[in-house]
Amino acid sequence: MSTIQVKEVSKRFRNVQALDNVSFEVPDKKLFCIVGPTNAGKTTTLRTIAGLEKPDQGEVFFDGEPMNEVHPKDRNVAMMFQNLALYPDKNAFENIATPLRIQRVGEGEIKKRVQDVADILHINHLLDRLPKTYSGGERQRVALGRTIVRRPRVYLFDEPLSNLDAVLRIEMRSELKRLQRDLGQTMIYVSHDQVEAMSMSDRLAVLNEGKIQQIDLPARVFSGPDNMFVAGFFGRPPMSFLHMAVEKIRERTVLTSKELKVDVSALAKGLQEYSSVILGIRPQDVKVNTPKAGGPVFKVEVMELLGAFKVLSFVVGDDILLGNVPADARVKLGDLMEIRIDPSRIYVFDEKTRKVIV
Amino acid sequence: MILRLENLTKQFGDLVAVKDLNLTIEEGEIISLLGPSGCGKTTTLNMIAGFERATAGKVYFDDRCVNDVHPKERNVGMVFQEYAIFTTMTVFQNISFGLRVRKVPKAEIRAEVRRIAENLNLEKILDRNVANLNLSELQRVALARTISVKPSVLLLDEPLSNLDAALRERTRVELKRFHNKWGITMIYVTHDQLEAISLAKRIAVMDSGMLQQFGTADEIYRHPANLFVAKFIGNPPSNVVRGEVVKKDRSYMFKSGEYELDISMHGDLIKKALKGNKLAISFHTEDVKITRSRNQKNSTPVEVFVVELLGYDQIIDLKVDDLIIRALVPSSMEVKVDERLFMDIPVDKINLFDLETEKNIFLTAG
C-alpha cells in the first residue's frame, strides 16, 4: 500500500514563494489530482514528492515513513511528464523494457511484464515498430507503458495529456482512469485543466500561488467552493462575480446594485455583519428572457456559441455577468434581455477575504 | 477582401500535406480551420501567407491570384502560438512599431494605437513593460502589433494554445469582440472544436490534407458529412458504432455484435442510398438516455464502466457487450461504477454512414 502525506511543505526559489505551507494526504489506491493555473506550484509539489526538490520546511511521508533524506531513486516513484521522449531508434518493446533493464530485471521477467503492459494498453501491434510510425495516441500509450511497467509505490503524472489534440485527450482521460483502477495503484496527477481534474480524480487539491485553496471531492469543489478562486476556477463558462450592497428593505434582506436586486432573506443570518458582499452565480443558473415581466434589462455585449448553448455577456455596474441560453434561442448582439437571479442558486463571498459566507 | 483557394495542393516529397482544397471566405468573415494535428491546417495558412509555395492550385485575394506575390507584398497578418513581441519595449512601443517603421506621423500613431488598444482591452497597460504581462496580455499585444499595419486578412494559428484554460477563454472573448468591431477577414486554425464553434460562423473540418466538410457549426453538428467528422465533433465526441443492416420482414435492424437497434424509420433512406449492408451509425452523447428501469421494450441493458464528472454534467461510459457507448447526463443523476442500467438511443437523431464510402447517406441521398 502507498499513502502519501505532504506535511506543511514550503519552498522558495529566490524571490518566489513556490509553495507556502502545503499539506495534503493521498489515500492508498486513489487517483489524486493537484489542479491550478500556471505557476500555482503544482509541478514543484510533484517534484518534492519525487525527491527532485528539497523542501525548505515541512516533510513528505510515504506510508508514514519520512522521505526527506531518501534519495529520489530509492523512493520508488514513477514519473511521467508532458514532453514524453521515446527512444527513436528503439521499438516499443525496448522502449517499455528500458526501466527494467536499468533495474537489471531478468530477461524472462522483462518479457512477461512488457507483455502484460502491452495487453493492458492495447499496444501489442506496436511492440516491434519504431516510434516514427506511431500516431499521437500510440506514442502516448507507449510512454505510459514505460511508466507503468515498473511497480512503483506511486505514479506521478505531470500534465501527460496536455500536448494531445482535444479529441485524443478525452479518449486518453477515461483510458487513464480505467488503467489506474485496474492497476489499483496510488496516482498523483497534476493538471491545469479543471475538467480533467474533476473528471479523473477521486479527490483533488486546488492550488494557487503556492497555497492550498481547497482539498475535496470533485463534486464538492464545483458545488461547494470555499472561496472565490475555487468558485471561478471550476465550471465553464466561469461563475460571474457581482459587487452588491447588503440592505434591509422592510423585513427583507436584499442584495442590491444600481441595476439588480436579489432577495436573500433566507440567507440573512450569515449576512448580518456585512454592508457589501460579492455575489457569485453560474451562467447556467442565470435566467435570461425577452423583456416582459418588467424586471431589470441588460444589453447583450458579447455572444458565443458553445455547442448546445450560447453564452451571453452583460455589463452590470463594473462587473460582467454571463448567462446561458439554448443554442437555438433568438438573440442578437445589442438586444435587451431581462435577467432574473434565483436566490437559491447564488453564492455569497466576503469582499476582503474572498471566502464564501453562505 | 474575399479569399479564395482553388484546388490548392501541397506535397512534401511523398507526403501530400494538402490536397485539392477549395474554400471561399467572404469579406469580413471569420472561419475556423479545424482538425487534428498533421491534418494540413498550418500548411494551408502558410500557402495563403506565401511562406510555402503551392505544388498545384491557386490562392486568390479578391480576383487577383497571389501565387507569385512575395509574402511581404501580400499584406497578410499572422499570429502564432508563440507570440512575436519585443521583450524590452513597452506595450505602446510594441504596438506602434510597424507604424513607426512606416514613418506615420506621431499624432496619428498615438490615435491608432489607442483605438486598437481599446478594442483589445489593453488601454490601461500601454505604458507597462511587456516583461510584466501575463500570457493573455502578451498574446493580445502580439495581435495588436499585427493589426496595427492594417493587414487585409488575418491568419491565426492556434494563438491561444499556450494559455491556461481560464485565460484562453477570456482571450477568446476578447478576440470575438475585436472581430465584431473590426470586421476583418480572418482564418482561425485550431484543433479545439469549442474554440472553432465559438469564434466562427463557418467551420472547415480538415483531415489528412483534405477538406472533410465546410459549413456552419449547426450543420456539421447535426449532419456530419462522413465518419471522420462524426468521430471528431461533439463534446465529448459522438458515439460511432460500426455494424450492418439486417432486413427482417418489413423492418430494418442495425446489428453490431450482440447489439441491435430498430432503424426501420430510416428504411426508405437505406433502400435508396445504401449500397451494400455495411453501415455505421453515429449519435451525440447527450442524446443517449439512461434509466434505472426498462423504459421501452427495446431498451438495452448496460453496465456502467467509467464515470467522469465535468461540473454540471457527467460522462458515463456504458458497456454493452464489447461496445462502449458514451452518455452525457446531468451530474444530479447518481450513477455508480458497475451499476446495471438501461439505455435508449433516439433513432430519429442518429446519422447513418455507408461503410464502403464512409459518407453520411442523409447527405448523399440529397
- Nearest chain A Cα to B199, which residue? A304
In chain B, residues with a C-beta closer than 8 Å to the C-beta of A307 are 194, 197, 221, 234-235
The pLDDT of B122-128, averaged and rounded, is 91
Distance CA B168, CA A24 (A): 29
Distance CA A256, CA A249 (A): 10
Strands B210-216 and B202-207, sheet pairing:
antiparallel
In chain A, residues with a C-beta closer than 8 Å to the C-beta of B164 are 37-38, 192
- Nearest chain A Cα to B35, which residue? A165
**Total number of residues shown for chain B:** 366
Confidence class for position B242, pLDDT limits 50, 70, 90? very high
The pLDDT of B249-274, averaged and rounded, is 92
| Packed helices A166-183 and A107-121: angle between N→C axes, nearest 10 degrees | 130
**Residue B22 sits at the chain A interface (C-beta within 8 Å):** no
User: Are the beta carbons of A302 and B310 separated by less than 8 Å?
Assistant: no
Q: What's the angle, vertex CA A48, arms to CA A47 and CA A51, rounded to 5?
A: 85
Q: Which three cell numbers stand for residue B76?
A: 497578410
The pLDDT of B324-352, averaged and rounded, is 93
Please report which helix (H) or strand (E) contains residue B146, including its range: helix B135-148
Contact A7, A169 (CB under 8 A): no
User: How distant is the Cα of A158 from the closest Cα of chain B, in angstroms?
Assistant: 15
**Share of residues in chain B with pLDDT > 90 (%):** 66
**What is the predicted pLDDT for the residue at A136?**
76
User: How distant is the Cα of A264 from the closest Cα of chain B, in angstroms?
Assistant: 24
**What is the predicted pLDDT for the residue at A179?**
85
ipTM over 0.85: no
- Residues near A106 by Cβ (< 8 Å), separated by ≥ 6? none
Distance CA A75, CA A73 (A): 6
- Nearest chain A Cα to B174, which residue? A302
- Checking if the pLDDT of B348 tops 90, the result is yes
User: Are the beta carbons of A333 and B180 separated by less than 8 Å?
Assistant: yes
User: Are the beta carbons of B310 and A199 separated by less than 8 Å?
Assistant: yes
pTM to 2 decimals? 0.80
**What is the predicted pLDDT for the residue at A347?**
96
**Residue A170 sits at the chain B interface (C-beta within 8 Å):** yes
Quick one: which of A47, A56, A52 has its CA closest to A20? A56
**What is the predicted pLDDT for the residue at B65?**
97
Q: What's the angle, vertex CA A179, arms to CA A175 and CA A185, rounded to 5?
A: 145
Which residues, numbered 278 to 307 in chain B, qualify as contacts with chain A under a Cβ-Cβ cut-off of 8 Å?
Answer: 286, 305-306
Q: Which three cell numbers stand for residue B336?
A: 455508480
Phi/psi at B296 (5° precision) = -120, 170
- Checking if the pLDDT of B298 tops 80, the result is no
Strands A65-66 and A286-289, sheet pairing:
unpaired
Print pLDDT tens along chain A (358 aa).
789 999 999 999 988 899 999 999 999 999 999 999 888 999 999 999 999 999 999 999 999 999 999 999 899 999 887 767 899 999 999 999 999 998 899 999 999 999 988 988 888 999 999 998 887 778 888 998 998 898 889 999 998 887 777 787 888 888 888 888 888 899 999 999 999 999 999 999 999 999 999 999 999 999 999 999 999 999 988 999 999 999 998 889 999 998 899 999 988 888 989 999 999 999 999 999 999 878 899 999 888 888 778 999 999 988 899 999 998 889 998 999 999 999 999 999 999 999 999 8
**Residue A315 sits at the chain B interface (C-beta within 8 Å):** no
**Residue B179 sits at the chain A interface (C-beta within 8 Å):** no
Whole-number mean pLDDT of chain B? 91
In chain A, residues with a C-beta closer than 8 Å to the C-beta of B173 are 302, 304, 313
Contact B175, B139 (CB under 8 A): no
**What is the predicted pLDDT for the residue at B318?**
95
* Sign, Cα dihedral of B149, B153, B157, B162: positive
Distance CA B63, CA B151 (A): 17
**What is the predicted pLDDT for the residue at B149?**
84
**What is the predicted pLDDT for the residue at B246?**
95
Quick one: which of A233, A82, A59, A63 has its CA closest to A147? A82
- The closest CB to that of A193, out of B165, B169, B217, belongs to B165
Find how far residue B81's CA is from the centre of its chain: 16
**Best B164, B202, B208, B324 residue to mutate vs chain A (most A CBs within 10 Å):** B164
What number of C-beta contacts closer than 8 Å exist between A and B?
A: 92
Place of cell 442518429: B350
Task: Report pLDDT digits (tens) over B135-193.
Answer: 778 888 998 998 888 899 999 998 887 777 777 877 888 788 888 878 899 999 998 88
Segments of B28-111 assigned E as strands:
30-34, 56-61, 64-65, 76-79
Cis peptide before B236 (omega within 30 of 0): yes
- Residues near A200 by Cβ (< 8 Å), separated by ≥ 6? A31, A33, A173, A176, A177, A189, A191, B308
Task: Report pLDDT digits (tens) over B16-48.
Answer: 999 999 999 999 999 999 998 889 999 999 999
